[in-house]
């Protein structure tokens, strides 16, 4: 089985880290491919970045479908740029990591808090929560102020701060699990989970495992209406190659 994980930003080192993170959890028979698209932002920190990152996601899915189809696709960014458009491009499952995390959290606990890298993405996260019908399970969105640099320089302290956030999510917000809405803490997910004593869920792992499950079941995205294939048509300017993706 082949699963393609698309990091929608163009920072290859992050792509490699995400692959390394997920590789540890896939089955021996699963081939996990991780890519960054050749176009788009180096990081995704706004709606602006998020919308523009969709192009790279589409590019990567279309390329695979033409050249070497995967059995499932994962959009490895919590904002899930281009997810619903991506579903139009293929009948294979395409999973976002926010949705995968929320579905998983809701099967393991009655409620959750999302730890978000950026304060400004709180509303974006709430919109995802509504989209997936999780508004009665969401207890809070809490921004971490833990940067990638913090984690690199002082991992123990970063873990301690993350555990403290989990504790607050439980005690002040009533959450019973925590979703990592930021890649930076994923490297230490297990340590945080062990210390915090509650499920700490990484959407990337959830999405990859759901892809494996769906692919084994032969499950396909519904093409009957909303996710039917887009019509070929003229595209202008720098996007001219997007006119006939399939």
231 part of the interface to its own copies, by CB under 8 A: yes
- What residues between 155 and 214 interact with its own copies by CB under 8 A? 170, 174, 176-177, 197-199, 201, 205-206, 209-210, 212-214
Rounded to whole angstroms, the Cα distance separating 163 from 142 reads 13
Closest residue by Cα to residue 96 from 239, 199, 237, 204: 204
DSSP state of 141: E
Q: Which two tokens stand for residue 147?
A: 């940067």
Name the minimum Å distance from CB 199 to its own copies: 5
Q: Which residues contact 212 (CB under 8 A, 6 or more apart)?
A: 1, 3, 26, 27, 30, 72
Residue whose CB is less far from its own copies, 93 or 154 = 93
41 part of the interface to its own copies, by CB under 8 A: yes
Residue 17 exposure: Cα atoms within 13 Å on the Cβ side: 13
Rounded to whole angstroms, the Cα distance separating 205 from 92 reads 18
Near its own copies by CB under 8 A, which window of 145-153, 157-165, 180-188, 237-245?
Answer: 237-245
Q: Which two tokens stand for residue 246?
A: 């399939």
The partner residues of 22 in beta bridges, in order of sequence, read none
32 part of the interface to its own copies, by CB under 8 A: no
Rounded to whole angstroms, the Cα distance separating 19 from 148 reads 17
69 part of the interface to its own copies, by CB under 8 A: no
Near its own copies by CB under 8 A, which window of 42-50, 63-71, 144-152, 157-165?
Answer: 42-50
13 part of the interface to its own copies, by CB under 8 A: no
Rounded to whole angstroms, the Cα distance separating 28 from 19 reads 14
Name the minimum Å distance from CB 169 to its own copies: 10
Residue whose CB is less far from its own copies, 66 or 157 = 66
Q: Please identify which residue in 16, 20, 23, 48 interacts with its own copies, judged by CB under 8 A.
A: 48
Q: Please identify which residue in 13, 67, 156, 233 interacts with its own copies, judged by CB under 8 A.
A: 233
Residue whose CB is less far from its own copies, 146 or 201 = 201
Q: Which two tokens stand for residue 161?
A: 């701060």
Site mask for its own copies (CB under 8 A), range 121-160, x = bound: -xxx-xx--xxxxxxxx-----------------------
Cβ count near 135 (within 10 Å): 10
Rounded to whole angstroms, the Cα distance separating 227 from 181 reads 26
Site mask for its own copies (CB under 8 A), range 74-113, x = bound: -------xx-xx-xxx---x-x---xx--xx-xxxxxx--
């Amino acid at each position: 089985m082949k699963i393609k994980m698309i990091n929608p930003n163009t920072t290859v080192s992050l792509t490699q880290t995400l692959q390394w993170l997920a590789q540890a959890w896939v089955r021996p028979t699963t081939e996990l491919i991780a890519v960054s698209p050749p176009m788009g932002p180096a990081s995704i920190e706004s709606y602006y970045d998020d919308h523009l990152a969709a192009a790279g996601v589409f590019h990567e899915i279309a390329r695979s479908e033409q050249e070497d189809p995967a059995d499932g696709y994962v959009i490895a960014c919590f904002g899930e740029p281009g997810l619903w458009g991506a579903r139009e491009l293929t009948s294979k499952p395409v999973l976002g990591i926010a949705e995968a995390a929320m579905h998983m959290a809701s099967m393991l606990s009655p409620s959750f808090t999302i730890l978000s890298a950026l304060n400004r993405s709180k509303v974006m996260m709430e919109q995802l929560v509504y989209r997936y019908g999780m508004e009665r399970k969401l207890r809070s969105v809490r921004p971490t102020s833990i940067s990638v640099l913090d984690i690199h320089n002082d991992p123990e302290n970063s873990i301690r701060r993350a555990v403290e956030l989990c504790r607050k999510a439980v005690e002040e917000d009533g959450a019973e699990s925590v979703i990592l809405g930021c890649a930076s803490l994923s490297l230490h997910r297990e340590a945080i989970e062990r210390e915090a004593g509650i499920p700490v869920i990484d959407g990337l792992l959830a999405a990859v495992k759901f892809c494996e499950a769906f692919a084994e079941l032969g499950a396909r995205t519904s093409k009957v209406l909303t996710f039917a294939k887009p019509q070929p048509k003229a595209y202008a300017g720098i996007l001219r190659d997007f006119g006939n993706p399939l």
